[in-house]
Amino acid sequence: IQETLVLVKPDGVSRNLTGEILRRIEAKGYQLVDVKLVEPSRELLAKHYEEHQGKPFYEPLVEFMESGPIVALRIAGERVIEGFRSLAGTTDPTTAAPGTIRGDLGRDWGLKVQQNLVHGSDSPESAERELALWF
């Protein structure tokens, strides 16, 4: 059985959407394996987002992720990595499909970084790496 890392980003936590996001994950049939509230260090965020270092949205992204607590979830299920990415919807919340977390609950706030409520690992390699960082 596959596992993935889901993060409810600071916008999701501050908007009181953690329960709604977890409800969707559980309704889909995925198993909650572990959960914690984290205020990540810059070092953790730099490792988590190392693939984006040097991109124009990198600094605003790290600042956003430091702006408040994050809920980290370890979830399990058959093909859960791609399954959660599908539940989350595409990166830009304005155009993410209705029915998805980002499409139903997110929108563009005109800020320097997309505040899109959740993160989900994008491959088995990322999931293993990111779960080791956050748990």
Q: Is 109 in the site for ligand GTP (CB under 6 A)?
A: no
55 annotated binding-site participant: no
Alpha-carbon Rg for the chain, nearest whole angstrom, is 14
Interface characters, 53-92, with ligand GTP (x: CB under 6 A): ----x---x-----------------------------x-
48 noted as active-site residue: no
Stretch that binds ligand GTP, among 36-44, 69-77, 107-115, 127-135 (CB under 6 A): 107-115
Strands (E), the chain: 2-8, 31-38, 70-77, 118-120
- Strand 2-8 relative to strand 31-38: parallel, antiparallel, unpaired? unpaired
> What phi and psi values does residue 118 have, to the nearest 5 degrees?
-140, 155
The binding site comprises 9, 57, 85, 91, 102, 116
